[in-house]
Amino acid sequence: MPTPTVVLVHGAFTDASSYQPVTKGLLDSGIPVVAVAVPNRSLTGDAALVRAFVETIAGSVLLVGHSYGGAVITEAGQASNVAALLYLAGYALTEGESVAQLQGRFPDSDLPDALIQTPFPATEHSAAGMDVSVDPAKFAAVLAADVDPGVASVLAVSQRPVAAAAFAEPATTAAWRTRPTWAVVCTADHGILPQVQRFGYERAGATIREVDSSNLVMLSQPAFVVDTIREIVGALG
């Protein structure tokens, strides 16, 4: 049976390059992989874009979502060729639930106090709104405490913001109901508290692994992430 293609979906405040060490590790292992660019404009819009991309891939797909990207794969994972899901410090939503609602079940992490809002103008195709990013001075402490400081400093000033509205938009479907699901709890995450991650994962019936990592596990523990993906690909074989 052909090896599934791994599709890596980044979260808020980062872009596809945040997966660089994981992408390289998978390529070195002979596993087909693509790290997609997500606009971070709206949950349903971002998920529709990812799903449309996934459906262009011949063969099965392991869909991996980090952070807000977890919410995205919860929707996009309904693509017919998605064989399994993997959440990395991610939001595993249920139908009718938003990121803000899931987060609101638990105490605040360090993230809300670190957020900066910047208005963006209306365009021909979209209304005006508010972009959310992380104060660069707080980025490393909140999201990347165990990432190389030089890398974290670059990430802090090259963020892909997320539209505030995306956090309030409810999921319309939950792909984990019909797909085998794995998930990683990052126990040192100050952006998405471990209990938020674990609650969604347990509700989804996921196979859960834990790692002592900040939110940006693909940069702090890339070998762990690659090994996890390799195990899942082997299980799907």
Pairwise CA distance, residues 13 & 134, whole Å: 7
pLDDT tens figures, 6-54: 999 999 999 999 999 999 999 999 999 999 999 999 999 999 999 999 9
Q: Which of 108, 117, 116, 75 is nearest to 192 (CA)?
A: 108
Q: pLDDT grade, residue 237 (50/70/90)? A: confident
Tens of pLDDT, residues 59-88:
999 999 999 999 999 999 999 999 999 999
| Phi, then psi, of 25 in degrees rounded to 5 | -60, -40
In degrees and rounded to multiples of 5, residue 229 shows phi and psi of -65, -40
**All domains of the chain in start order, with CATH:** 5-236 (3.40.50.1820)
Alpha-carbon span 229 to 6, nearest angstrom? 8
pLDDT of 124 strictly over 90: no
For the chain, what percent of residues have pLDDT higher than 70? 100
Helix axes 222-236, 20-28, angle to 10 degrees: 50
Nearest to 155 by CA among 191, 104, 120, 186: 191
